[in-house]
Chain A
Amino acid sequence: MQAAKQDIIQQLQKDVLSMQRLKKISGQSLNTGLWEVEKAFPDQTFPLGAVHEFISHTKETAAATNGFMAGLISQLVKKGTTVWVSNKRTIFPPALHVFGIEPERVIFIDLWRQKDVLWAIEEALKCEAVSAVVGELSELSFTESRRLQLAVEQSRVTGFIHRYNPKSENITACISRWKIKPLASEANEIPGMGFPRWDVQLLKVRNGKPGTWQIEWSGGQFRHIARQVVTITEIQKRKAG
């Protein structure tokens, strides 16, 4: 009886997802090292063919966000052309190689006006031949994000919107909202900087559970780090206090 109920609930959940046009892309095993994060999503799968929203407020977090996005793109969509639309681009193409993207496969579209950026993102999202679209801009209204979501539902292209320094964190139709902050890298025995490490916050996710994780990019893939209860600086502060 209990099992039957469970089955019914699962079936209903799937129906809801398909009604929301969040079909699981079958036969896709994502060995991304993000399994902890993926648990947060409905159906335990990172949703492709949707628009994800990232928010950053400082230059440092913007760089971390772009690094994380680049890692996601290389892990999730593998080969294919990425279109990178931005209004104030600072990406240095050779560095994308570190995150597993071949820089010559990225087409950058640099525009000034917000209107043009949105138009270009929408056009790119409509093109099925593109595998991922990154849009860098600051403001995105609900209506605009709805348009992007509609475009994506047709074409199944994955979109990543990176909003740098938005005036307000308004509600959008994007499937998820992320904030990425850089974390101190782990100093192994070797002195100097370690692998890039981030504090990944999933603030909103449709039909999922938001959460926070600490993730490192090493050896060409994401690696999950066991949660550190307190950071080093805080210990120092406590000692001082």
Chain B
Amino acid sequence: MRRYVAIWFRHLKTDWMVRRQPELKGIPFVMAAPAHGRMMIKAANAAAQAKGIDVGMVVADCRAIFPSLQVFDDKPGLTEKLLNALAEWCLRYTPVVAVEQPDVLILEVSGCPHLWGGEQPYLKDIIAKLGGFGYDVRVAIADTIGTAWAVSHYGKVSPIVERCGQLEALLPLPPAALRLDATILERLKKLGLYQIQDFIKMPRKALRRRFGDAILTRLDQALGQEYEAISPVHPVEPCQERLPSLEPIRTATGIEIALRQLLEKLCQRLAKEEKGLRKCVFKCYRIDGIVKQIEIGTNRPSRNVTHLFKLFELKIATIEPALGIEVFTIEAPVVEDISAVQDALWNFTEGGNGTAIGELLDRIAGKLGMNSIHRYLPDEHYWPERSVKLATSLTEKPQTSWRTDLPRPIHLLPTPEIIEVTVPMPDYPPMLFRYKGEVHNVSKADGPERIEQEWWLQHGLYRDYYSIEDTQGARYWLFRAGSYEHGDPEWFIHGFFA
């Protein structure tokens, strides 16, 4: 049989503010954020609530009620951060702690309370410890998450719900204790159903018809007839290593030695966890309190000390040791799994030298920037400029095969350049053309190959491509934009054949 504890932080954010600024204790204050051009209250402390100020009101209205009200800016994402931190702290009570937005922690405590000498001392300890931090909490323990939640919020008798005593505990509570939507609560209120006992005995069919499935699910969850899953928090252990030095380090050699030692430690750990790093930060804490840091990134997850060291080596010169460095740390903020499958994907070379190439590209990207490296895959477009696309990763395989049935030049000009031509007849290849002041007499020609505009991408004239060889033997790719039907079309040179 499972037991759950629900911890409700009644004034999570304001309690946190008081913890940071103790002088605020007992003073009515709120935290507000702009919404629809007004400042809406997101959190109010107990003193403010006593004055009738509550969440969801407008600051201007509240100032009318209580002029000396203090208003602080609400920080977005603060609740999640606080709750996650508190959840990790609560791991001392049980290994399974989950966060339930906006202000509740759910602890699965099966088999834990007896270590504290029973459920009552257990709950007392939780309240006392969290209360010591300044958090105003209400707790309840029950067989189900739903009941624990309900009793922690609305329970008036005892926070401990006996085994299988969910029904009795729930009966006198208001429907809001079931974690229902505001619309359903409103409807229940209109019908005069102020307590759970008013409707719990009603036929399920009638409840479903009037209030939907949600109410039945919540009831079942609270009574333990339906299992409710929680997603417990897993504290992440940062990939970090630290190296204090006996005497301040001032030389590049010293920094290199420290870096190598740290990298070895880090890579040993990564090897144990079967991971590789994608990003790595090396920090040097100087005597004068300034932190110098260098950062590297890799194309593929790596835990190769020599390779990572080489990447860092390019940047070591930027560290200014000044009076000396006393502590070095290395941190891998982004790590990824290295799996055997991933190595197999990169089988360009028979020997599976993908890692070596990846490391080469890391060095190039580290020094000259990632956007200097390009790899191309075929794209399904006829328009020459769009017939290739950039590969997003080094392991990406072509989805379609390369087209080889049509002539394509080995050199393609980034933008077609205008030329002057002499054409014997419309739709015939030119007799001669002038490009950059030089006249080329055409001896052989292929074409035309008509390529239409891809109208869903851009509008314009179609192109009639001709492969041309001049009397010198040089080969060109020319095209005419549009036809002779509508005036004199322009001719362009677009590439050179080998």
Contacts and interface: CB of A to CB of B under 8 A. Distances in A.
A and B are partners in one complex rather than unrelated chains: yes
Interface of A: 59-60, 62-64, 66-68, 70, 79-81, 83, 90-99, 102-111, 116, 119-120, 123-124, 127-131, 181-185, 187, 191-194, 196-198, 217, 233
B274 interface: no
Given A93-B376, A120-B364, A129-B357, A196 B411 contact: no
Nearest to B476: A60
B118 to A, nearest CB: 65
Interface string B359-390: 11101100110001111111000001001100
A187 B376 contact: no
B465 to A, nearest CB: 12
Interface residues of B, number: 58
Contact of B348 (A67, A90, A96, A105): A105
A241 to B, nearest CB: 17
A183 B473 contact: yes
B441 to A, nearest CB: 10
Contacts of B349: 79-81, 129, 131
Given A66-B498, A111-B368, A129-B356, A184 B469 contact: yes
B360 A66 contact: no
Nearest to B406: A94
B377 A104 contact: yes
B391 A104 contact: yes
A92 B494 CA distance: 11
Nearest to A186: B444
A107 B360 CA distance: 11
Interface string B404-416: 1001111111100
Nearest to A112: B372
Interface of B: 348-351, 353-357, 359-361, 363-364, 367-368, 372-378, 384, 387-388, 391, 394, 397-398, 402-404, 407-414, 443-446, 467-469, 471-476, 495-498
A108 B376 contact: yes
Nearest to A116: B368
Contacts of B446: 192-193
Contacts of A181: 473
Nearest to B346: A81
A233 B498 contact: no
A104 B397 contact: yes
Given A103-B376, A107-B373, A129-B351, A192 B363 contact: no
B409 A95 contact: yes
B403 to A, nearest CB: 7
5 contacts: A63-B475, A81-B357, A94-B388, A108-B376, A197-B473
Contacts of B373: 107-109
B368 A120 contact: yes
A46 to B, nearest CB: 19
Nearest to A59: B496
A54 to B, nearest CB: 13
Given A192-B467, A193-B444, A130 B413 contact: no
A94 B467 contact: no
Contacts of A80: 348-350
B361 A107 contact: yes
A90 B384 CA distance: 13
Contacts of A131: 349
A198 B475 CA distance: 11
Contact of B367 (A60, A64, A91, A119): A119
Contacts of B391: 104
A110 B374 contact: yes
Given A119-B367, A192-B467, A99 B498 contact: yes
Contacts of A217: 498
Contact of A196 (B355, B443, B476, B497): B497
Contacts of A98: 404, 408, 410, 498
Closest 7 A/B residue pairs (Cβ):
A67-B498, A129-B353, A129-B356, A63-B496, A92-B412, A60-B474, A192-B446
Contacts of B372: 109-111
Nearest to B402: A97
Contacts of B350: 79-80
Contact of A128 (B353, B468, B496): B353
Contact of A64 (B363, B364, B412, B498): B498
B388 A185 contact: no
Given A60-B472, A63-B498, A64-B498, 12 more contacts: A67-B497, A81-B349, A92-B388, A92-B495, A97-B402, A98-B404, A108-B375, A109-B373, A123-B363, A127-B359, A128-B353, A192-B446
A47 to B, nearest CB: 21
A216 to B, nearest CB: 11
A70 B408 CA distance: 14
Given A111-B372, A129-B356, A182 B361 contact: no
A104 B394 CA distance: 10
B411 A92 contact: yes
